[in-house]
Structure 1
Amino acid sequence: MNDSPDAYPSRRGLLGAVAASASAVAVPLLSAERASAAAPVTAPSSSGSGLSLTLLGTNGGPPPLATRYGISSAVVVNGRTYVVDCGRGAVTQYLRAGLSMPSLAGIFLTHLHADHIVDYYAFPMLAAGASGSQGFQEPIDVYGPGPAGISSTVTGAPGPLPGTVGMTRLAGQAYAASPTFFMAEHTGTDPGSLLNVHDVLPPSGTQASAARTAPTMRPFTVMENDDLKVSAVLVPHGAVFPAYAYRFDTDHGSIVFSGDTTPTPNVVTLARGADVLVHEALHPDGLAGLGLPQTLIDHILAGHTDVARLGRIAAEADARTLVATHLSPGQQTAVSDSTWRRLLSDSARDADYGGRMLLGSDLTHFAVRQRGATP
């Protein structure tokens, strides 16, 4: 893409034409490579043009698992990489996927639950000042939820809850020792200097608040550059506010991330005509055998989306393909991959959804093609 003012209208016009042809075109959308436990598939390096999606981690919830990494995904467009959520092991998985740190152009956080942010500050802290393929030498943009407008109840952390900007500042203070020691020896960089952090707040007209977390709304633009346009909507996820779903529109196709959410018309609106909808999935029966307290099970059920609903959501959005991730429970001993695939198939059949329903697994890589593209 070029830097001329006409570049954006041209892209928007193309995307509009793509969406309009949804019912007339039926071609394969994704070429997927699935990783086995013994030999994970390595995604192509972050170079060249086009659009791809790599699921870095697919586990739902904070408890760590040996068989799935924390929730995180990577979108590569025109050789630049954008990470969505930074769950446990995101940095490790980023490198295992064959992605280079110098290609990292941005990070997007859907919400500030631990399983989505625990590896966030590890990106700049571990890469600060590293040379060549080991680090990034210029600031990247970070977009995440702004302050919730409520007070903290955590011991030792009084006052208003921080948003992404405040959280990043506090992380820099908490981990100040390491870069200070490195810089005293004339090596390394202040990790905070490698981030341009932006608090994402919903438009004032939505009248959203911690007491009204996800009113019905139209998508709003979060950022736009020569690679892509990113839009967002609020989604309901228990007490969390703000919590977002994001849409990435490019000349090569579109990808939507639901974030953590219960079924909501906001996601359907955001994902309208999308090439790929990456959606969280919950199997209620799978929770029963985990020995969890009923209060915790009720909490999980109230904040997530039953896999049985995914076919209807994809159909209502006219999304070409749905990829299930943030799997809960993530333990294969509780819900096997074959069971997840059966549940996805049943969901599509029950909703008369004609698109593809794919089960996400760690390090699965997808080359995304827009509607009407040559397979």
Structure 2
Amino acid sequence: MPVLEVTLLGTNGGPPPLAGRFGISSALVVNGATYVVDCGRGAVSQYVRAGLSMPSLTAIFLTHLHADHTVDYFSFPLLAGGASGTRGFSEPIGVYGPGPSGHESGVAGAPGPVPGTVEMTRLANRAFAAHTTFFSSEHFGVDPASMVDVHDVLPPASVGASLTETAPPMEPFVVMTDDNVRVSAVLVPHGAVFPAYAYRFDTAHGSVVFSGDTARSDNLGRLAHRADLLVHEAAAAEALPALGLRPALLEHIRDVHTDVADLGAIAVAADVGAVVVNHLSPGALAAEEWQSLIDRSRENAGFRGEMILGEDLMRIPVSARAAR
């Protein structure tokens, strides 16, 4: 079994449910420990379907707080926290996600600042208080919030990031380290979202970068420099008009995501070993059409590494280029 491997739990881009692809979520396994990046629709079910060990779950990283990246996050502690045997995890896992943005809430009846990851977790636990209370009254189950150690990730103050300057030029900063990985991040541009992060996992066996949702970004290029694997989101810009999307949504997708046509050039500039094309928008576009767009992007840029079309439950072994 590879000592470093990425499993794509879900590859669909955007909130609307799609039968053929689950919501965006990936898992990185290193030395038997599992780290999940984003928790889109069905992440827990896909984790189990992939045969990943629930007791091995070590940490969750959220790139940003759009629902298609977070909707199944609290399901991990709610459904598996404290569950017996191989069905759950018995020690608290780390959770790392964006801190408060400074945005004021646009939700009717919920005034005040938009919550970051810590407050989102507290509110989710409160929403499911009936579940926890009923089980605890029968003397089993645990408080889900006790099974997560949650950290709000904010960029260094020196970067000067703000609601109006969401991804200024910056160097990567360290988010977390343990015996298996060092995790670094940079801010990436994703429309009104702040903060939005890309993450890099450096291990003794190789390095993997997850772009999160982003328009083309020099920050991401710095983070991904000479990574062994870049897992990058993609929008098929030329296929979007045929979907009949509202003009505002069409403009949004084009402005805040990365055109698949640019991925080859991004890979060359960052000098990465290989690219996995993920968070596919539109996810319903036929695989052969996606593959054609990916091949063209690779050939036009002269990228010599692999560019792989992501599919749900795909496993990608990773090794350091120096060892290959």
One fold, TM greater than 0.5?
yes
Deviations 1:267-302 (A, max 9, x none): 100000000000001001222222211111111111
Give 2:161's aligned amino acid. Answer: A
Match of 1:85 in 2: 38
State the AA in 1 paired with 2:115. Answer: P
Hey, what does 1:349 align to over in structure 2?
Answer: 299
Q: Deviations over 1:88-136 (max 9, x none)?
A: 0000000000011100000000000010000000000011331000111
Q: How many Å apart are 1:251 and its aligned residue?
A: 0.2
Kept after mapping to 1: 8 A contact 2:82/2:147: no
Residue 316 of structure 1: aligned partner: 269
1:200 aligns with 2:149: no
Read off the aligned partner of 2:317 and give its amino acid letter.
Answer: A
Contact persistence 2:9–2:25 (CA under 8 A): yes
Identity of matched residues, %: 62
Contact 1:143 1:200 in 2 (8 A): yes
Quote the residue 1:264 is aligned against: 217
1:120 is aligned to 2:73: yes
CA radius of gyration, larger in: 1
Q: Considering only aligned residues, what root-mean-square deviation do their CA atoms show, in Å?
A: 0.9
The answer on 1:338 being equivalent to 2:288 is yes
**Greater shift in the superposed pair: 345-354 or 64-73:** 345-354
Deviation at 1:356, TM superposition (A): 1.0
Give the equivalent residue in structure 2 for 1:18: none
The question of 1:361 aligning with 2:311 is answered: yes
Query: Aligned equivalents of 2:239 and 2:45: distance in 1?
Result: 28
Tell whether 2:97 aligns with 1:144: yes
Confirm or deny that 1:153 pairs with 2:106.
Answer: yes
Aligned residue number for residue 48 of structure 2: 95
Give the TM-score normalised by structure 2: 0.98
CA distance, structure 2, for counterparts of residue 145 and residue 317 of structure 1: 25
- The worse-fitting range, judged by mean Cα deviation, of 240-249 and 125-134 is 125-134
8 A Cα contact 1:233 1:270, kept in partner: yes
Deviation string, structure 1 residues 204-246 (Cα, Å, up to 9, x no partner): 0100011110001000000011100000000000000000000
Return the match for 1:328 from 278, 281, 294. 281
Contact 1:106 1:141 in 2 (8 A): yes
Q: Which amino acid aligns with 2:304?
A: G
Instruction: Supply the distance in 2 between the matched residues of 1:97 and 1:370 (Cα, whole angstroms).
Output: 24
User: What secondary structure is seen at the aligned counterpart in 1 of 2:76?
Assistant: helix
131, 136, 140: which one pairs with 1:183? 136
Distance 1:284 1:267 in 2: 20
* Structure 2: gaps (5+ residues): none
Question: What does residue 255 of structure 2 align with?
Answer: 302
Q: Which amino acid aligns with 2:295?
A: S
Q: What letter matches 1:330 in structure 2?
A: G
Q: Which amino acid aligns with 1:57?
A: G
Between the aligned partners of 2:322 and 2:256, the Cα distance in structure 1 is: 36
Task: Report how far residue 171 of structure 1 moved.
Answer: 0.5
CA distance in 1 between partners of 2:220 and 2:231 (Å): 11
**Structure 1 residue 318 displacement after superposition:** 0.2
- Alignment correspondent of 2:62: 109
**TM-score, structure 1 normalization:** 0.85
Task: Give the match for residue 212 of structure 1.
Answer: 165
Match of 1:12 in 2: none
Aligned to 1:371: 321
Task: Tell me how far 1:55 sits from its aligned partner.
Answer: 0.3
Q: How far apart in 2 are the matches of 1:69 and 1:286?
A: 20
- The number of equivalent residue pairs is 324
Helix, strand or coil at the partner of 2:55: helix
- Report the Cα distance in structure 2 between the residues aligned to 1:322 and 1:286, rounded to whole angstroms: 21
Listed as ranges, the gaps of 5+ residues in structure 1 are 1-43
Contact residue 129 and residue 187 of structure 1 kept, 8 A: no
- Which letter maps to 1:284? A
How far apart are the structure 2 equivalents of 1:337 and 1:312? 22
Q: For 1:152 and 1:120, locate their aligned partners in 2 and report how far apart those are by CA, in whole Å.
A: 21
Q: What is the CA deviation profile of residues 143-171 of structure 1, one whole-angstrom value per residue up to 9, with x for unaligned ones? A: 00000012111112110111000100010
SS of the residue 1:357 aligns to: strand
- Is the contact between residue 54 and residue 73 of structure 1 (CA under 8 Å) also seen in structure 2? yes
Greater shift after overlay, 339-348 or 258-267? 339-348
CA distance in structure 2 between the partners assigned to 1:251 and 1:151 by the alignment: 42
Residue 244 of structure 2 is matched in structure 1 by 291
